[in-house]
Amino acid sequence: MSMGAALSSASGALSSSQTKTFDIVILGLDDAGKTSLINRLKAPGLLVGALPEATPTFAFESESISYGDNHITLWEMGGHEKLRPLWRSFMWKGHAHMFVVDATAPARFAEAKEELDRLLGELRLREHAHPVLVVANKIDAPGAPQLPEISRALDIESLAQGDRLVGLKSTSATSGEGVQEVMDWFVANVSHDQIARHNEYKAEVQANQ
C-alpha cells in the first residue's frame, strides 16, 4: 500500500461525528524540515524524492489540509534565530503546536530544548493548555539517533506537567514515515471542548488587536 493510500485509509476511518476544524502552529529551529513536512502532509502520495525543494520560511506561511473529515490549518513559523522572537505573536493561532527537531543534528539538541522550554513557558501563561507534539524529523537518515536518545536529550518526560500534554513522535518528510502517526496524535488529542474554548480566546485576541 502506498503512503497516500495508507493515509487515506486510516483517516477515512474517522467517523463524521469526530469531525474537527482546528489549527496547528509549527515551530522549530531553522533546517529542521518544517516546510518539507508540510509538503508531505499536503501530498502524502508523492514518491520518495518527489517532494518539491523546500526554501527557508522568512516569516510565516499557512496551508489547509483535510485529514479524513477533519479540516486542519498548518501555520509554519520561520525558525531562523532572528525570527524566533516573532513566534510569541503567532502562537495564539494554534489549537495545538508542533515543534520539529532535526534528528540528524544532535549538536543542536540543546538549542532546540531551550526554544522548546521557552515555547512551553509561554503556553503556560495562557488560560488553556494546548497539546504540544515534538516531532523528530529525518529519523531515517544514516546515523540518526533513536527516539529514546532524543527524548532524553530534550527531557521530554519532565515537560508534561499538570494538564500539559507533550508528546514525541518521529518522522521522515522525505519518505512519509511516521506522518500518519503524527496526524492521528493531533486528531486524538485536540478535543472538541478545547477547540471551542480556544476559538473564544482567539476571538478575544482579535477583538483587542
C-alpha cell at 20: 474537527
- Integer Cα distance of 58 and 166 in angstroms: 27
How many degrees, rounded to 5, is the angle at CA 133 between CA 65 and CA 38? 30
For residue 157, the domain's CATH number is: 3.40.50.300
C-alpha cell at 27: 515551530
Nearest Cα neighbor of 173 from 24, 48, 9 is 48
Top pLDDT among 165 and 14 is at 165
Q: Please, are residues 188 and 13 in contact by the beta-carbon 8 Å criterion? A: no
If you average pLDDT over residues 170-183, what whole number do you get?
A: 93
- Could you report the per-residue pLDDT of 48-90, keeping only the tens digit for each? 665 666 666 666 788 999 999 999 999 998 888 888 888 887 8
Task: Please give the pLDDT value at position 58.
Answer: 65
- Integer Cα distance of 128 and 198 in angstroms: 7
Q: Assess whether pLDDT exceeds 60 at residue 1.
A: no
Q: Assess whether pLDDT exceeds 50 at residue 15.
A: no
Cα-Cα end-to-end distance for the chain: 48
Q: Assess whether pLDDT exceeds 70 at residue 27.
A: yes
Q: Please, are residues 16 and 69 in contact by the beta-carbon 8 Å criterion? A: yes
Q: Assess whether pLDDT exceeds 80 at residue 162.
A: no
Task: Please give the pLDDT value at position 126.
Answer: 64
Hey, is 134 helix, strand or coil? Answer: strand
Domain count, the chain: 1
If you average pLDDT over residues 131-159, what whole number do you get?
A: 95
Sheet with 21-28: strands ordered across: 60-67, 70-77, 21-28, 96-102, 132-137, 166-170
If you average pLDDT over residues 124-141, what whole number do you get?
A: 85
Q: Give the domain range for residue 57.
A: 3-207
Top pLDDT among 22 and 17 is at 22
Top pLDDT among 125 and 36 is at 36
If you average pLDDT over residues 114-131, what whole number do you get?
A: 81
Helix, strand, coil shares of the chain, percent, nearest 5, are 45, 20, 35
Task: Please give the pLDDT value at position 12.
Answer: 43
Task: Please give the pLDDT value at position 46.
Answer: 63
- Could you report the per-residue pLDDT of 28-56, keeping only the tens digit for each? 999 999 999 998 888 777 656 656 666 66
Residue 52 phi, psi (nearest 5): -65, 150
- Give the chain's mean pLDDT: 84
* Binding-site entries: 28-35, 57, 79, 137-140
* Binding-site entries for GTP: 28-35, 79, 137-140
Task: Please give the pLDDT value at position 9.
Answer: 43
Query: Percent of the chain, pLDDT > 90?
Result: 51
C-alpha cell at 70: 477533519
DSSP notation for 25-82: EEEE-TTS-HHHHHHHHH-TTSPTT-SPPP---SSEEEEEEEETTEEEEEEEE--STT
* Binding-site entries for Mg(2+): 35, 57
